[in-house]
Amino acid sequence: MDQEFDNYGFDTLAIRAGQQRTAEGEHSEPIFPTSSYVFASAAEAAARFSGAQPGNIYSRFTNPTVRTFEQRLAALEGGAACVATASGMSAILATCLGLLKQGDHLVSSRAVFGTTTVLFSTYLARCGIETSYVPLADLDAWKAAIKPNTRMLFIETPSNPLSELGDIRALADLAHAHGCLLVVDNCFCTPALQRPLELGADIVIHSATKYLDGQGRCIGGAVVGDAERVGKEVFGFLRTCGPTLSPFNAWVFLKGLETLSLRMRAHSANALALATWLEAHPAVTRVYYPGLPSHPQHALAKAQQRDFGGIVSFDVRGGQAAAWRVIDATRILSITANLGDVKSTITHPATTTHGRLTPEQRADAGIGDGLVRVAVGLEDIADIRADLARGLD
């Protein structure tokens, strides 16, 4: 699945893109902890404020460290513009409020991050923006959900926790045929494994908190896309409403991007080994991982992703009690809902991330009582396997 994305290869861009050395000649990117910038004269200040002269004014909207992160991520996703934000949630908020207005309609896949659903159904609804939810993989349901006032289709692929896939190219074509934008939350794959813009999507969202950081340290997010929608409209929202990424967090994410490709390959290799082992275990009734030939969308995963990512979910025979036994028997894996960390994490979706759904809604979403999700980290695979074997055996 390897391919050359640009004049420079992906790994070169991940390490080099966006850096502008200062007169100090520093090798590593500097952190600029400054809230404002000084002008040489009153006339220069006036020119900056009027927009006649480009340059920094105030770190709510531009900061050199944040800009380096934005330019590097834009290069990796193949977008013309990137706006960094304080969190993944504020990236989604900035995209929606930057590009939608009262009376608009949004169609989202049902299987999106829980807080994203709350943002759409509670806060966007208060602004008069209505959301419909459809099953991610059902193209006919997407077609049927589009109305004359639909402006945006929103997906995460692969989905959490069941690793269903959305066909990005087919959904982009559908969106464009109806004058809509396709927005893809690329948190699970990152550009190292999937480049939605290349497949026709208009906007990519990131929770940088996850794999872009990669070591569970900072909260942040980003929006990537074209110069008009992202560079002007989403940036305009950020500049005015202020969910700004701090320069320190931007610097941590920059360091994360430098090893992104290596980490995503290692996460994928560990996850495939774990999924293959789980599938053969008698206490496991089903494994959800796009890298397994038994996954119903394995061919689509191979076509639109460079590898299969680090999230593996599985059903344990014996329901909630058995699933909790597996979780409680672990000694290395962290019982926490975060993901995208070098440390492996384990969760029971039915009583945590999806605990607020009714039993019927959970059954509808395919979240069984015996379901366990592992975000596979970079520890030795033999130790991860042994940690799970303790409860499963």
Ligand X SMILES: *Cc1c(COP(=O)(O)O)cnc(C)c1O
Binding site for ligand X (CB under 6 A): 87-89, 113, 116, 156, 185, 187, 207, 209-210, 219, 221
Least spacing, CB of residue 212 vs ligand X, in Å: 10
Least spacing, CB of residue 345 vs ligand X, in Å: 12
What is the distance between the alpha carbons of residues 369 and 351, in angstroms, rounded to a whole number? 8
What is the distance between the alpha carbons of residues 347 and 324, in angstroms, rounded to a whole number? 9
> H/E element holding 64?
helix 64-77
Least spacing, CB of residue 260 vs ligand X, in Å: 16
Closest residue by Cα to residue 256 from 115, 78, 127, 73: 73
What is the distance between the alpha carbons of residues 245 and 39, in angstroms, rounded to a whole number? 23
Instruction: Give 45's contacts (C-beta < 8 A, 6+ positions apart).
Output: 39
125: number of Cβ within 10 Å: 12
Q: Do residues 369 and 323 make contact, with C-beta atoms less than 8 angstroms apart?
A: yes
Q: Do residues 13 and 72 make contact, with C-beta atoms less than 8 angstroms apart?
A: yes
Handedness of CA 335, 336, 339, 341 (dihedral sign): negative
Least spacing, CB of residue 92 vs ligand X, in Å: 7
What is the distance between the alpha carbons of residues 195 and 204, in angstroms, rounded to a whole number? 9
Nearer to ligand X by C-beta: 223 or 284? 223
Nearer to ligand X by C-beta: 268 or 277? 268
Strand, helix or coil at 361? helix
Least spacing, CB of residue 79 vs ligand X, in Å: 18
Least spacing, CB of residue 242 vs ligand X, in Å: 16
Strand, helix or coil at 227? coil
Nearer to ligand X by C-beta: 59 or 85? 85
Q: Which pair of structure tokens corresponds to residue 26?
A: 């520093």
Nearer to ligand X by C-beta: 14 or 119? 119
Least spacing, CB of residue 87 vs ligand X, in Å: 3
Q: Which pair of structure tokens corresponds to residue 218?
A: 């900072």
Q: Which pair of structure tokens corresponds to residue 170?
A: 């087919």
Nearer to ligand X by C-beta: 210 or 392? 210
Nearer to ligand X by C-beta: 100 or 339? 339
Minimal CB distance to ligand X: which residue? 88
Nearer to ligand X by C-beta: 156 or 167? 156
Least spacing, CB of residue 86 vs ligand X, in Å: 8
Least spacing, CB of residue 50 vs ligand X, in Å: 35
Nearer to ligand X by C-beta: 320 or 336? 336
> H/E element holding 322?
helix 319-328
Pairing mode of beta strands 150-156, 203-207: unpaired
Handedness of CA 233, 250, 73, 380 (dihedral sign): negative
Nearer to ligand X by C-beta: 347 or 392? 347
